[in-house]
Structure 1
Amino acid sequence: MFTLPKLPYDYAALEPTLSADTLHTHHDKHHKAYVEKTNELATKAGLDGGPLEEVVRESAKASDKRLFHNAAQAWNHAFFWDCMTPKSAAPTGELKAAIDEAFGSLDAFKDAFVEEGFNHFGSGWVWLVTGSEGLKVISTHDADDTLVKDGLFPLLVCDLWEHAYYLDYKNDRKGFLKAWLDRVANYAFAGKQLAASEGQGDGFRYPSPSANDDSSDRRAAPGEAERPQA
């Protein structure tokens, strides 16, 4: 059975950017519901016991939309929690160099990220990814997609569903995205993901079904990190 990963920080740690009320609602209700439904549907589909990444891929191949939507959302949310930190700091090293090469500057990257997320119609996710074409910003719709099954490697993601920000920002999605990038975006995590995409270290993986509730291990075993396709 998959478990709901604990937040890597206290519920109030991201205030005032995101309130404790928002995180309690988002994590304890929305994410929990996706995990519980994934467990129920994966068992029926005979996919329980394996990694969540496998459930996402196999349900997509089988066109099992209910299982795919819930499994993909469970994975996306777990990745999202690690994309935030109460100690946000500007990108450094290879990530900074890659952002400068792809976008021209950190500010230009932020502008592109905000505009992609703001102009995304309806619910979904806005991502910083890397692949054969280098770094770029993309968005995915609703629960219909996840980078687990795409030829891209995720570095950073922000949730565009209203439950992610409405309690704190009402309908000001642009204001939310700007504050998110400036105050809580975890560029250190994104840097580790970039290194993992190049075979240096381990990338993000959802905790295995065998992990206990206290497990904080969200990294792949050596050699198991997902790689971007050429």
Structure 2
Amino acid sequence: MMFKLPPLPYYFDALEPFFDKETMKIHYTKHHQTYINNINNILKNIPQLINLSVEELIQKLELVPVEHKTAIRNNAGGHANHSFFWNGLKKETFLDGTLKIAIQMNFGDIDNFKTNFEKIALACFGSGWVWLVKKDNKLFILSTANQDNPLMGNQGVPILGLDLWEHAYYLKYQNRRSDYIKAFWHVVNWDEAAVRFNKS
């Protein structure tokens, strides 16, 4: 199975003015596509792993030959993370239902959850991601380096994820990562997050 760039569920300008059209276009067609190209090239040399989904692959890194492990971790992680990210973005959705209740129970209230999410995102040094994850019926916020994913190492099931690499925001926000993180709340697809929460 060769991986393909998944369809983007909206136009490149759909998240304006919060996430700009040009960044979305480059991020999707160049950065994400490169991860896919790289992983497909690597898997040509590891036929025993060719039929795994990308989620299975990042959870079974112990099966990857040592000479390919770092490249698979980075590129399969990049593909998994970005596929997750695109589907988690949409304007004008609302936090409600069981996910809202769970966030309130775990973080006290929604504002406190957002404050903690932003704090952990800002504390991530260099490139990485910040996540809301569910594990053992509890919600946690954590960050991962590079293209690591919480599914690596059984850290939890991702519910929300925000890309903190500069390529995700630099054209619009330059060095203002804080402004980019705050803009995220305007484009969170809470409907998708609720589905992920209820299925996990």
TM-score, normalising length: structure 2: 0.92
Q: Does structure 1 residue 70 correspond to structure 2 residue 75? A: yes
Count of residues in Structure 1 that have an aligned counterpart in Structure 2: 194
State whether structure 2 residue 91 is matched by structure 1 residue 86. yes
CA distance in structure 2 between the partners assigned to 1:68 and 1:103 by the alignment: 31
Q: Deviations over 1:187-221 (max 9, x none)?
A: 11111111001xxxxxxxxxxxxxxxxxxxxxxxx
Query: How has the CA–CA distance of structure 1 residues 33 and 60 changed in structure 2, closer, same or farther, with 3 Å as cutoff?
Result: farther
Aligned partner of 2:7 in structure 1 is: 6
8 Å CA contact retained: 1:131, 1:152: yes
User: 1:186 Cα deviation (Å)?
Assistant: 1.1
Identity %: 37
Shift of residue 185, structure 1, vs aligned partner: 0.8
Aligned residue number for residue 190 of structure 2: 187
Give the aligned residue type for 2:191.
A
List per-residue Cα deviations over 1:108-128 (Å, max 9, x = no partner).
111011111011111100000
Deviations 1:15-67 (A, max 9, x none): 00011100011000000000111111112112213311222233344341112
Distance 1:60 1:35 in 2: 20
Computed over aligned residues only, the root mean square deviation of the Cα atoms, in angstroms, reads 1.3
The runs of 5 or more residues in structure 2 that have no matched partner are: none
Which structure 2 residues correspond to residues 68-217 of structure 1 after superposition, within 5 A? 68-89=73-94, 91-132=95-136, 134-143=138-147, 145-149=148-152, 150-181=154-185, 183-197=186-200
**3-state DSSP class of the match of 1:148?**
coil
Structure 1's unaligned 5+ residue stretches are 198-230
More helix by share: 2
